[in-house]
Each structure stands twice: as structure tokens, then as C-alpha cells.
């Protein structure tokens, strides 16, 4: 009987330890998700809110985005002097996704250029991390 109680006590301690361990892991996971949500900039979901492009170019950008990667490339070449990061980086990532089917090598080169000049705290960086596995 004593051995049975000892075994029962050991099993109870193991079960309790596992419960405490699982609780600790869930708290860490919640804290990690909260930190990630705070690190994501609020305007990353809406690229039109990113600084670096005059508002009068937004309409022409939307038109060329619908026309395809060749039109977007010409538009970028023409308006590049008026654009700045982070909006320029976002538009170039749009170009990368459009051109990837037709010319994957160009897509990789443009992606690498954007990645090289974009710092981690940039609002574009989460999108770079999202596309990184595809274009590296």
C-alpha cells in the first residue's frame, strides 16, 4: 500500500509539473504574439499611407498596376526621382510579385535590392520577410 501511495504521489507531482509547464508556455506565447502585434506598424496594411510618394501619383499607379509588370516597370523608371522609401520599396515589391512569373531572375534581383536597402524597423520589412522564402 505504501508503494502504491508513493507511486500515486510521484504521478501527481509529474502531472502538476506538466500543467505548470504548459501554463508557462501559453503565457510566453501570448506575450510573443502581443510583442509581434506591437512591432507591426499600423500603416503596413495600407501602402497608400506610407510616406515617399506624392498623392497625385496614386491614380496613375493604380492604373499601371492593373496593366501588368511592363507598365509598372516603365512607370517606376519614369517616376523614380519623385519616389522615396518606404513607398518606393513597397511598389518595387509589387513589381517583384507581378514579374516573377515572366522573369524570375529579375524578380530575385529587384527583391535583393529592396531587401538590402530596407532596415528592420521599416513598415515594409514584414512584407519582405513574408516574400523572402520565395525570392531568395
Interval 18-69: pLDDT, tens: 999 888 888 887 777 766 666 555 444 578 788 989 999 999 999 999 999 9
User: What is the model's pLDDT at position 89?
Assistant: 93
How far apart CA 89 and CA 134 sit, in angstroms, is 17
How far apart CA 3 and CA 57 sit, in angstroms, is 81
Cβ pair 121, 40 in contact under 8 A: no
Cβ pair 135, 111 in contact under 8 A: yes
Average pLDDT over every residue of 77-85: 93
Cβ pair 95, 77 in contact under 8 A: no
Query: If you average pLDDT over every residue of the chain, what do you get?
Result: 86
pLDDT in tens, 56-78: 999 999 999 999 999 999 999 99
How far apart CA 118 and CA 115 sit, in angstroms, is 5
Average pLDDT over every residue of 7-28: 88
Amino acid at each position: 500500500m505504501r508503494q502504491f501511495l508513493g507511486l500515486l504521489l510521484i504521478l501527481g507531482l509529474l502531472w502538476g509539473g506538466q500543467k505548470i509547464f504548459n501554463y508557462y508556455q501559453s503565457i510566453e506565447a501570448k506575450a510573443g504574439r502581443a510583442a509581434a502585434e506591437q512591432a507591426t506598424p499600423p500603416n503596413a496594411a495600407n501602402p497608400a499611407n506610407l510616406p515617399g510618394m506624392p498623392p497625385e501619383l496614386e491614380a496613375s499607379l493604380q492604373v499601371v498596376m492593373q496593366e501588368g509588370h511592363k507598365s509598372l516597370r516603365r512607370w517606376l523608371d519614369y517616376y523614380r526621382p519623385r519616389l522615396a522609401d518606404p513607398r518606393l520599396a513597397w511598389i518595387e515589391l509589387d513589381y517583384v510579385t507581378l514579374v516573377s512569373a515572366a522573369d524570375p531572375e529579375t524578380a530575385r534581383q529587384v527583391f535583393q535590392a529592396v531587401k538590402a536597402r530596407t532596415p528592420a524597423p521599416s513598415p515594409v520589412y514584414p512584407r519582405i520577410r513574408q516574400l523572402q522564402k520565395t525570392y531568395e
